[in-house]
Structure 1
Amino acid sequence: MSGFRRQLPPMTSLVVFEAAARQLSFTRAAVELGITQAAVSRQVQALEQNLGFQLFKRLHRAIELTERGQILSKSMSEALGTITRTVQSLTSETGSGELVISASVAFSHFWLLPKISDFRRLHPEIRLKVISQDTNVNLIREDADIAIRYGVGNWPDGRSTLLFSDDIFPVCSPAYLEAHGLPDCVADLVNHSLIASGSADPSWVGWSRWLNAFGHGAAPLNVTLSCSFYTDAIHAAMRGEGIALGWNRLVHDLLQQDRLVRVTAESLRTREAYYVVLRNGQPLKPQVEAFLRWIRKEREQPGLTGSQTASVLEE
């Protein structure tokens, strides 16, 4: 059997193609690779000539991958990601002692970071890196050991395990409650100052979806403050700006500290939940196994608040 060198196009052109395909831009790929845009274009053209088919559709001020380009891009990203992680684990001291965790800003801020000191006490030898962002880190392409995500548990870049479901209910500050009183019922919420937070994630629960679960979705909303991030909405609620939707697992500590109070007995449990996601086919590093043991124990801690809850499970 002949070697890889005779079976494959030049590796330089493949690496340049991977960057251009991931960025969907010759210009951004050039910046990433430290070469000129013209050099990227030449390498891609040479690769296309070598393969005998087009990898990109050249549009006006844009490029798109062809069907064959998409297949090659996925394969290259997976292969280079595997090589990168292997080299890091073999040559870097941090490869054996660092744990990289990805989570949303809200989950990191309200759940993970307040508890992480316990994990650090149990495992002082593990260096932690927390990536907090509301767009999912791609486990195939990016250097994260564990992702904690909210959704239905189906992501193409990893295998997921249910962490816990959650209940969503309105919350406000004690000061707001003292000044405005409790709503008489769910329908009366629309007469209060509501705080909304946006998200590009279709699984996100906003006021319309929450109220609709109780038959009041058509009522006009009195949203007096809208925030781009959920963390900002909760901080605004703590400062008395109005009523926000609270994810019980995220605001539990704030309720226990009386910085927030629950407004209604009604809560919504959706089909979405929190999941731990691990990269497909990747052997577990010791620090990953340690974190999984810790977080499984943490999820068993009491999380429900208040008395009897009327819970609605969405279809």
Structure 2
Amino acid sequence: MSNLRKKLPPLTALTAFEAAARLSSFTRAATELGVTQAAVSRQIHLLEEDFGFPLFRRLHRKIELTEKGKLLSAAAGDAFNLIADTVADLRSEGPDDELAISATISFSHFWLLPRIAAFSRAHPEIKLRIITQDARTSIETSDVDLAIRYGTGTWSDGQAELLFDDEVFPICSADYLLTAGEVRTPQDLVGHPLISSDTEDPTWTGWEEWLAAFSVKAPKKARGLRCSFYIEAIYAAMNGQGIALGWNRLVADLIQQTRLVRLTDASIRTRAAYFVVVPTRKPKKESGRLFIEWLREVSASAV
């Protein structure tokens, strides 16, 4: 290191030279560096004395690099650009880098957002961005750092790690139950308005599949509300419009808050589960590792 320092010129003088060479002006270099024109001129004069040859030709109202000055300018520019790029990369990989997390609307609304404040308190230096979308997009080609998905765990755009599975059972509001009367068995559900939601996911459990698990045939002309998203079905149930299917992981907090009531002891295990998915061909972020570690801890203690 000591030999390297002896070979290099003073950094202050080299910085002044690089700016003057790039801008072709001592005055503009001084403005960029926030010093006087005389200070830039003095630093370059010291550099030329150290080298023993001129770096600029001082012409009338302009300066030009000498041949040796051009060589030094190219080397200094490349070196400074390399340092700037490296610093930018280090900063982008730092602990305060933004972490983009993708999740479905229902999972984000009912599970992730009520819990994520705990992660932010533990890691206030990490900036989080929640991307809520039901349409599944590739995490390899998007700006998503990791995704939380419901499915079988086999996705070509990333490596999946199991978080937890789930169970499904009927739910409604306490007010609806008071007016509708007691519901004891799956067969008792058939006469009630059954709230459903549209989905293209073949692993998602609907009323027909749920009732069939208990040898009950779903009514051909159901009276219940049909919603575009699962979150709408849950809010419809909370507002007393009928009975919906509740995914335990999503509605457990609402049941604990008595905003929803579970009907019957009957439930079925889901065919799919929740996974955290990490892109296979993107650099791994330290913030992402910490978030997945937090997900494991919360998942292990979740109901």
Determine the structure 2 residue equivalent to 1:205.
205
Cα deviation for residue 262 of structure 1 reads 0.2
Q: Which residue of 2 aligns with 1:131?
A: 131
C-alpha spacing 1:221/1:262, structure 2 compared with 1 (3 Å): farther
Which amino acid letter does the alignment assign opposite residue 222 of structure 1? A
Aligned partner of 1:244: which letter? A
Q: Judge which range, 199-208 or 100-109, deviates more.
A: 199-208
Structure 1 equivalent of residue 269 of structure 2: 269
| Unaligned residue ranges in structure 1 (runs of 5+) | 1-86, 304-315
CA distance in 1, matches of 2:102, 2:87: 19
| Alpha-carbon shift at residue 180 of structure 1 (Å) | 0.6
Q: 2:171, 2:245 within 8 Å by CA — same for their partners in 1? A: yes
**Cα shift at 1:205:** 1.2
The answer as to 2:224 corresponding to 1:194 is no
Q: 1:227·1:233 contact (CA, 8 Å) conserved in 2? A: yes
Residue by residue over 1:63-96, the C-alpha shift from the partner in whole angstroms, topping out at 9 and shown as x without a partner, is xxxxxxxxxxxxxxxxxxxxxxxx9995595554
Q: CA deviation at 1:193?
A: 1.2
1:1-315 correspondence runs (5 A)? 90=88, 96=94, 97-220=97-220, 222-303=222-303
Contact 1:172–1:240 (8 Å) recurs in 2: yes
Instruction: Specify the SS of the correspondent of 1:299.
Output: helix
Whether the aligned pair in 2 keeps the contact of 1:103 and 1:148 (CA below 8 Å) is yes
CA positional deviation for 1:241: 0.7
Alignment root-mean-square deviation, CA = 2.0
Q: 1: CA distance between counterparts of 2:270 and 2:210?
A: 10
Largest Rg, 1 or 2 = 2
Change (3 A) 1:88 1:115: farther
Whichever residue aligns with residue 199 of structure 2, its letter is S
Judge conservation of contact 1:172–1:244 (CA < 8 Å) in 2. yes
**Is the 8 Å Cα contact of residues 192 and 224 (structure 2) preserved in structure 1?**
no
Structure 2: where are the runs of 5+ without partners?
A: 1-84
TM-score scaled by structure 2? 0.68
Aligned residues: 217
Aligned residue for 1:298, secondary structure, equals helix
CA-CA distance at 1:165 after TM superposition: 0.1
Q: Which residue matches 1:307?
A: none
Deviation string, structure 1 residues 172-210 (Cα, Å, up to 9, x no partner): 000001111222410121101111111121211111111
Q: Percent identity?
A: 49
**Structure 1 residue 219: Cα displacement:** 3.9
